[in-house]
Structure 1
Amino acid sequence: MVVLPFSTVDVFTQARFGGNPLAVVIGGEELDTKTMQAVAAEFNLSETTFLLAPMNAANTARVRIFSRTTEMPFAGHPMVGTAFVLAQQRPDLAFATFEVPAGIVRVQIERDADGAAIGASIDAPQPLSLGETVAAEVIARALQIEPADVVTTNHLPSVASNGNPFIIAELSGEALTRCAPSMSAFRDALDARPHLGSRFSVHVYSRDGQTIRARMFAPLAGTWEDPATGSANAPLACLLLSLDPEAEQASFQIHQGVEMGRPSLLHVEARRTPEGILATLRGSCVPVMRGELTLDDKDA
């Protein structure tokens, strides 16, 4: 029998039952990918991580990230939440490097005056990359709003990534509250773009200066709506910086999950570097549950 400890934490919040919940399983090298995916489906959260020994001893840990349906190369709230769980176990930990499929994620632990872990900031593993644009009509149909609700004066809806691709679109503030994903429209949009693989995840936002309200929908991956999406808000901040050629950096406060009753706050900074536009995410965490995952040999 395999027995592995796990913790759940709420990420990008200072209030329990807010933010985005995450399950962190400690260990699991003996589990195959199919079993890890089954465990993630059992938790039924946006993501579940497995905290493993690093491949390179110079790094702190290797982290595998699973949504309800697939393994992910990078995701923001799992990195912040996993770092928080590890920092609770290691009171001396100030910095960490995580190996994920998208690259190396550098982490800085945040602690209160008594030394207790309260959150973390992470550097996205890749610079901003921009892909194809998507017609406003496609976004409107997917979210059951009007094409005129999609704001295209600043940029067209575009595929953007810092390690995990999303279609990012600006909406009017009022339209943002009316979004209701259509599963059939999401399927049609992906069927028309087989080169995107299995992902057609839409991140929409409205902006008031450096304050942003955002929502993310990925129903094809089992996440009807996500309370806080670090790997989508990182390229959003980078995309906005790319639109201002005079600026070297930009900082944003991003509110997400409000419509779901799980308000989240993400602090995101984008900056120009010789490697491209990079992002740093920062957020607080709250511990919720601890327990043990038990698997029979036939399960693992």
Structure 2
Amino acid sequence: MQHRYLEVDVFSTGPFTGNPVAVIADADELSEDQMRAIAHWTNLSETTFLIAPTTDEADYRVRIFTPSTEFPFAGHPTLGTARAWLELGGRPRTAGQVVQECGAGLVQVRLCDQELSFATPPRTRTGELDEEDVERLVEALGLRREDVLAHAWGVNGPAWQLFQLRDADLVRFVRPGRLWEGAHIGLVGLETGEGENLLEVRGLTEHFEDPVTGSLNGAFAQWLRERGLVPAHYVAHQGSQVRRAGRVRIEDDGCQIWVGGSAEVRVRGELVS
């Protein structure tokens, strides 16, 4: 069986500077076991599978897999899948907007010039972390307790644990030690100088550092906006410590928080299953 196959560079500022996602089209006949095997084989942070929607409200349905698990929602796979669907000839029911169906429900994706943005879904878990979690992070990253200014759950698919550190320089300085099983750690720090980027963001897991992370930036935007620490429009930078240069644009329009950036197709081909 042959499937159209694309790899999309998401949140990039130039070729190969963002976060790649593999998109497998025509995937309705693939079993869940086959999807898991393919995602394990591509070995990217996420691989998505385009299938027919189950509701007339959606333009397409997607399943999102890491090499080891399935997510109900993830950010850069959402933008990458929307770009791939359009590239493959998809026509939105509503001009300028794609509606994606995924495990978290319906997600709106806006089309604006060459950039895409998704409406951040509501967090399913919020509130401060246990102090034990904070102490475990401080030990793993070689920090002092006073380096952590605030912390919270930001679960919106991945189970992000959010930590605001003293400033952006400290976020860049951190050299992660071995994290615990299932860890999804988000670090954020405010920049102290002038420039386009307001925040430095890093997304750490047990096995790797995610180059640029839409779901994490969405959770951070919700959390930081609630606390009045960021304006309605800002830019976050991510990926500097893994040789990437990702840029994430945040817009709070008063109804939704939109997470946006570029999404460029870098690979076109066929996958044989």
* Fold shared by both chains (TM-score > 0.5): yes
Q: Which amino acid aligns with 2:99?
A: T
1:171 alignment partner, one of 165, 172, 186? 165
1:217 aligns with 2:204: yes
Q: Which amino acid aligns with 2:46?
A: E
Residue 67 of structure 1 aligns with which residue?
Answer: 66
Is the contact between residue 204 and residue 214 of structure 1 (CA under 8 Å) also seen in structure 2?
yes
The CA distance in 2 between the partners of 1:165 and 1:104, in whole Å, is 19
Shift of 1:4: 0.8
Aligned to 1:15, the other structure's residue is in SS state: coil
Shift of 1:132: 4.0
Residue 141 of structure 1 aligns with which residue?
Answer: 139
Structure 2: segments with no counterpart, 5+ residues? none
Residue 110 of structure 1 aligns with which residue?
Answer: 112
Shift of 1:127: 5.2
The CA distance in 1 between the partners of 2:2 and 2:268, in whole Å, is 13
Residue 259 of structure 1 aligns with which residue?
Answer: 241
The CA distance in 1 between the partners of 2:3 and 2:54, in whole Å, is 20
Residue 8 of structure 2 aligns with which residue?
Answer: 9
Residue 85 of structure 2 aligns with which residue?
Answer: 86
1:281 alignment partner, one of 259, 270, 273? 259
1:23–1:123: structure 2 CA closer, same or farther, 3 Å change rule? same
Is the contact between residue 4 and residue 293 of structure 1 (CA under 8 Å) also seen in structure 2?
yes
Q: Which amino acid aligns with 2:57?
A: A
Q: TM-score when scaled to structure 2? A: 0.88
**Structure 1: 4+ residue segments shifted above 6 A:** none
Residue 205 of structure 1 aligns with which residue?
Answer: 188
- How many pairs are equivalent? 263
Is the contact between residue 13 and residue 245 of structure 2 (CA under 8 Å) also seen in structure 1?
no
Report matched runs for 1:115-194 at 5 Å.
118-126=114-122, 129-135=125-131, 136-150=134-148, 152=149, 156-172=150-166, 173-183=168-178, 185-187=179-181
The CA distance in 2 between the partners of 1:161 and 1:251, in whole Å, is 22
Is the contact between residue 170 and residue 189 of structure 2 (CA under 8 Å) also seen in structure 1?
no
Is the contact between residue 241 and residue 271 of structure 1 (CA under 8 Å) also seen in structure 2?
no
Q: Which amino acid aligns with 2:138?
A: A
Q: TM-score when scaled to structure 1? A: 0.81
Structure 1: segments with no counterpart, 5+ residues? 112-117, 188-198, 296-300
Aligned to 1:55, the other structure's residue is in SS state: coil
Identical aligned pairs, as a percentage?
Answer: 31
The CA distance in 2 between the partners of 1:134 and 1:279, in whole Å, is 27
The CA distance in 1 between the partners of 2:135 and 2:180, in whole Å, is 12
The CA distance in 1 between the partners of 2:107 and 2:79, in whole Å, is 10
Residue 51 of structure 2 aligns with which residue?
Answer: 52
